[in-house]
Amino acid sequence: MKRMIDKVRRTCEKTAFLKRVQQNAHYSEEDLPLLWDVMSQILASMDENAFVSDRQVVYTSAYEQIRKDASLSDDIWENGLLHEVVITLGGHADEIQEKYMQEGKLTEAYMVEVIGSEILLKAYSEYNTWVKQNTEYAVERYLFPNKDLAMIPEILERSGLPVMCTEAFCMIPKKSVAFLAVWTKDKSCLCEGVCMGCGRKDCPNRMNDGQKTHQKLPDRPLTYGQTKIFGL
């Protein structure tokens, strides 16, 4: 699936993607050169550091809670329609952000957060496209193991990717995602997206009518809330 990541990178190298980041995060025209500089550093590292893993789930008792919560039918298990997916941009993005933090460049550090999130959102979309173009199926919806976080390190280990999580279930590298994808034989199906069914109205990455609600940060010491956004 390396071609999928390559396509994500090529898409994000285009001006249209940069303008989308600007619009979604409410940056001004004057911010575009700095946004481009930060984004170029992240994209340059993706050839060697970004990966995606897709693994068909074999039903075990560990999945019973998810099966109940998501009302998954027997057909899902019998036909192998549930997949574990892990996507990571790699640790270089974290290093770029940490370097900016150490230099007191909080605006640039937050741009890494904004751009990384946008690239991962593009990766979700590209995963859906990859499934539809390379299999007889389509992605129906995403599931996240919110009630059984202990599954996350197991999913990461099975992925074979260089991604781990802390005891608090925060993933390292930070620009990584792990989720379950429900496949369907109905190729006309459109996936509901990553924010459907999530009650976290205060999430800094939440999509509202297709746009995020990021704000620029001043170059001054971070507040407690801002450190939580950065995951520090």
**CB of 182 closer than 8 Å to CB of 140:** yes
- The closest alpha carbon to 128, from 1, 13, 12, belongs to 1
**What is the count of structural domains for the chain?**
1
**CB of 132 closer than 8 Å to CB of 178:** no
Q: How much is the pLDDT for 199?
A: 53
Whether 48 is covered by a domain: the verdict is yes
Whether 227 is covered by a domain: the verdict is no
Whether 6 is covered by a domain: the verdict is yes
**How far is it, in rounded angstroms, from Cα 207 to Cα 195?**
7
| pLDDT tens figures, 50-67 | 999 999 998 778 788 888
What is the average pLDDT across 165-174? 91
Task: Report H helices in 79-184.
Answer: 92-102, 106-134, 151-159
**How far is it, in rounded angstroms, from Cα 113 to Cα 130?**
25
CATH number of the domain residue 64 falls in = 3.40.109.40
Look up the domain containing 95 and give its range. 2-196
Whether 221 is covered by a domain: the verdict is no
Tokens of 83: 């997949």
**How far is it, in rounded angstroms, from Cα 217 to Cα 221?**
10
**How far is it, in rounded angstroms, from Cα 205 to Cα 228?**
13
Q: How much is the pLDDT for 227?
A: 47
| pLDDT tens figures, 191-216 | 766 665 555 555 545 554 444 444 44
Half-sphere exposure of residue 146, counting CA atoms within 13 Å on the CB side? Answer: 9
**How far is it, in rounded angstroms, from Cα 178 to Cα 63?**
15
CA 152 to chain centre: 14
Whether 83 is covered by a domain: the verdict is yes
Whether 88 is covered by a domain: the verdict is yes
Q: How much is the pLDDT for 207?
A: 54
Left, alpha or beta for 197 (phi > 0: left; psi -120 to 50: alpha)? left
Q: How much is the pLDDT for 226?
A: 43
Whether 28 is covered by a domain: the verdict is yes
**How far is it, in rounded angstroms, from Cα 111 to Cα 25?**
9
What is the average pLDDT across 29-45? 95
> Rounded to two decimals, what is the model's pTM?
0.83
> What are the CA-CA distances from residue 207 to residues 85, 98, 108, 127, 203 (Å)?
21, 26, 22, 19, 9
Whether 110 is covered by a domain: the verdict is yes
